[in-house]
Structure 1
Amino acid sequence: MTATLAASAPRRVNPWLIGWVVALGFVALLQAYGRDDLAWAFKFPRDWVIPLRFWLSDLMKWLLNEFDLGLFTFRQFTRSIAWVIEQPYWLVKSLLSTGFLQGQGSGAVVLFPRISWVAIIGIVMLMGVYAKDRKLALLVGGCFFYLVLFGQWDSAMVTLSSIIIAVPFGVAGGLSLGILAYRSPGFERLIRPLLDLMQTVPVFAYLVPILILFGFGPVSAMIATIIYALPPMARVTILALRQVPAELTEFGAMAGCSRSQILWKIQIPAAKATL
C-alpha cells in the first residue's frame, strides 16, 4: 500500500530547472523584441561608465604637482624614499658589479675594483655549506659559474644587488604586518583582502604608478618587488605564530615577561622553523 502511494505521488519539479527556463525565456524575448525599445540592454551607455581611470589619473597628477605636506611636497617625499633605498643599492652594486667609480661614462676612473667573481663564488659556496651541506654548496657554485661561462655575470650581479636590498625590506615589512595581524584580529580582517589583491594583481599593474611616484630606475623595480613579497611573508608569519604552543606563551607570562619579550624571545624563536 505504501509503495503504491509513493509511486502515485506527483514528482516534484526542481526549482533550479524552473529558474533556468524562466531565464532562457526572458533572454529569448529580449532578443526578439527588446533591441529597439531597450537599446541600453544591448550596448551599455557610455554615460553610465564610471570614469575611474580619469579619476586615478587626476589623483596622480594632483599628488605629484599640487599636494603639499607643509615642509615638503609629496613628490619630494617619494623621491627622498627612493634616494634612501638607492644608497645601499649603489653600495652593493659597486661591490658586485661596477666597482667604485669617479665620473661617468667612458671617462670614469675606477677608485676601487669590484669583488672578484672567484671570491663571490667562494662566498656563496661557503654560505651553502653553512646553510646545509657540501652538495648545496656545489650546486650554488655551479650555478654562479654558469653565469660566468655564458657571459651573464654583470647583469646577474646587478639583479643580485637589487635582491640583496629588496629582500630585507620585504622580510621586515611582511614580518611586521604578520605580527600586527596576529595580535589584532581586526587588523587581520582589514588587511586580508589587501593581501589577496596584492598577490593576484600582476606586478606590472602597480609598477606603472610606482614609476610615476618614485621615478624611473632600479628603485622602482625594488619597491615593486618589496610589495609583491609582502603578502606571503605576512601570511607565513601569522601561520607560524599561531602554531606556537600556547604553553610556551603562558610560561613566559608566568615568568613575568612583557609582551615584547614573549614575542621576540619565545614566540619568534619557536616559530623560526616555519618562518
Structure 2
Amino acid sequence: MAGDLLELLRRPGPILLDGAMGTRLMELGLPPGMPPELLNEEAPDAVLEVHRSYIAAGSQVILTNSFGANRRKLARLGLGDRAAGLATRAAELARGAGGRVVLGSIGPVGELLRPLGKLTLEEAQEAYVEQAVALARGGVDGLLLETFFDLEELKAALRGVVAATGLPVLCSMSFGAKGKTMMGVSVERFVREIEGLGEERVVAVGANCGAGPKEMEAIAEGLCAAAGRLPVLVKPNAGRPELVDGRTVYQTPPGEFARSAGKWLRAGVKLVGGCCGTTAEHIRALAELIERWTKGT
C-alpha cells in the first residue's frame, strides 16, 4: 500500500533500497541482448531469486523488474504489445517475493525528444502512463522514475503517471562525475524544477546509475544542499564497468561501497541502495552500516 511507503519515509533514520536487477539476471543466465523484463514471464523464478536475495540482505524497499517495460522500447524488438503485461507481472513478482514496500521501476523510453530526435513529449508520456497503470494494477506502492537524462522527459513522465495512478512518485536522474546528466542538467536545476512543480505526490528526488560510489559523494552533497522539503535517494553503480574475459564486471567491493555510503548519510541522504553491478553482498554491507548509524556507533 502507498501508506506503507509514506509511513516509512516519515520515520527517522535511513531507508535501505535494493541493488541491481539487470546485471544480476545476466549473472543468472540472461542471454546478451535479451530484455530482462521478459524473464518476468519466461523465467520468473530467477526474478524472484534476485528479489528475495535483497530482502534477505535487509532491503526495506524493492524495485520491480520493469525498468524497460514500456511499449516504445519493446516495440523496437517487436514486443510492444507485451509491455503492459510484463510490467504488471513484474509488480506481482516483487509483491510475491515478500517485500513490504514495492516501487515500480520506470526508466526512459530510450529515444531522443524533439528537436534532437523524433519523439514528442506526448508520445513519451503515453508510454509512461501505460507502464505506470500496469504497475499499479500489479500492486506497487509507488513509482520510481529512474535513470533519466532529459529533465523535460522526466517532467512529462511525472505529470502523466501522477494523473493516471495517483501513486507516490520518486524522481531520479543519472549524473556523471561532474554532477550533470548527459543532457547537461545539473543537480541544482533538477531539484529546483521538480520541487518547483509543487506536485504533492512527489516524495523524493535523487540520483542513480551513472556514477560510482565515490563519485556519488559529491552528487549526494549537492542533492541534499539543493533539496528543500523532499528526501534524497542515491543508488550508484558498483564502480565503472570493465570488460574482463568478455564479461562486463563492476569492481567496487561491498566494504568500499559502504564506506562511501557513510558519506552519503552524513550529507543527509534518506534512501540508499545500489544500481548496476551491486549484489546482495553490497546491500548487506549497507544494512550493517545503517545498523551502526542508527545506534550511533
TM-score by structure 2 length?
0.23
- Between 1 and 2, higher relative CO (CA 8 Å, sep ≥ 6) is seen in 2
Between Structure 1 and Structure 2, whose CA radius of gyration is higher?
1
Report the structure, 1 or 2, having the larger strand content. Answer: 2
Report the structure, 1 or 2, having the larger helix content. Answer: 1
